[in-house]
Amino acid sequence: MAGFDFRGQTVWVTGAGKGIGYSTALAFVEAGAQVTGFDLAFDGADYPFATEVLDVADAQQVAQVCERLLAGTERLDVLVNAAGILRMGATDALSLADWQQTFAVNVGGAFNLFQNTMAQFRRQQGGAIVTVASDAAHTPRIGMSAYGASKAALKSLALTVGLELASAGVRCNIVSPGSTDTDMQRTLWVSDDAEQQRIRGFAEQFKLGIPLGKIARPQEIASTILFLASRSASHITLQDIVVDGGSTLGHRMIWKRHLTLDELNATSDNTLVAHLGIIYTHIGEDSLEAVMPVDSRTHQPFGLLHGGASAALAETLGSMAGFLMTREGQCVVGTELNASHHRPVSQGQVRAVCQPLHLGRQSQSWEIVVFDEQGRRCCTCRLGTAVLG
């Protein structure tokens, strides 16, 4: 890979049969390293690096292979822990076997490699270890309890090993990829537009979209791994680099449609919303805000929000939020609106904040809270919507 020089260095990569592990091993080869890739199986015989069939979850097998290979080399310059599996399912529906296998491979596999290489790293007083975790270790998601928990445990393990090896000059870092175009990722794709859906995110799974608007390629993860293993990162250790296009550390919005405030307000032209003076003012990560003046258009005998104006404001904000949660070809309709009035407002303007209570595939529930200019709550509404299309 251009920009990195690993000539004369010995590199081990687990999970090298395909995906991120394969791309990483290939990148090290291109950078001049002597690479050995480990995996349960290798398809064909055309790998440009040495291969070792290895079950990283088998402690005895790992010990035997490591002893044999280390006896034939003076140094192990880089170890990349990239082996991993994914088992999906709600926590109460996940089999014990899937849970245990996920931890045996994702955590136990790295543990076995650590145990059998740490002495070598200490003897040579140097080297680099890069462990591939996941952004799921940072952000929990429905249906990914085993995978997310295993990657969080792996992160803690890798950082602990980094502390234990720091005095020997060994750098230990983590790369946490987001959605990446691998066979593992594609097992989750069940429709023709699955990649675009992944980019937009899944609010019902509390999985955010990708602000950069694309799925990562394995080569992009590999380049980060090579950087952390290179001399360019000589003073970097105990760090977790998230490579996810911004989906966890950047833009965290839940919305499936991405409109600007100007575009939102343009939808109100020549409607009751515009007549009432309702203006959208803020699009938050999981909230939508608007203001409405208290004047002759909205004032009622007992103060604002005791009649049609309250329904208009709440339903306007909730319906727009619901619309932002739909995909192309879908729409939302209000099914039920309930309001609790706390205090009247007779002048100035009010500010309303809408947030989701429930986001399902066919129905939504929104809470809309209205505040006066002093920040006092004057009305709480709940809007139910149905998703059509």
**Whole-structure pTM value:** 0.64
Whether residue 198 has pLDDT greater than 70: no
Say what the pLDDT of residue 2 is.
Answer: 55
- Cα–Cα distance, 168 to 163 (Å, whole number): 10
CB-based contacts of 20, cutoff 8 Å, min separation 6: 82, 132, 177, 180, 182, 218, 221, 222
Q: Where are the domains of the chain?
A: 10-243, 261-388
Query: Binning pLDDT at 50, 70 and 90, where does residue 179 land?
Result: confident
Q: What is the pLDDT of residue 186?
A: 56
Contacts of 214 (CB under 8 A, 6+ apart): 199, 245
The residues annotated as belonging to the active site are: 315
- Quick check: do 10-243 and 261-388 share a fold? no
Share of the chain above pLDDT 90, in %: 55
Q: If you average pLDDT over every residue of the chain, what do you get?
A: 87
Mean pLDDT of 59-77: 98
Q: From CA 183, how far away is CA 44, in angstroms rounded? A: 17
What confidence tier does 348 reach under pLDDT thresholds 50, 70, 90?
confident
pLDDT band at 283 (very low <50, low <70, confident <90, very high): confident
DSSP conformation letters of 282-299? EE-SS-EEEEEE-STTT-
Q: Is the pLDDT of residue 271 over 70?
A: yes
More confidently predicted of 305 and 119: 119
Q: Does domain 261-388 have CATH number 3.30.70.890?
A: no
pLDDT of residue 252: 52
Looking at the domain 10-243, which fold is it?
Rossmann fold (3.40.50)
pLDDT surpasses 50 at 380 = yes
Cross-strand bridge partners of residue 337: 383
The confidence score (pLDDT) of residue 205 equals 47
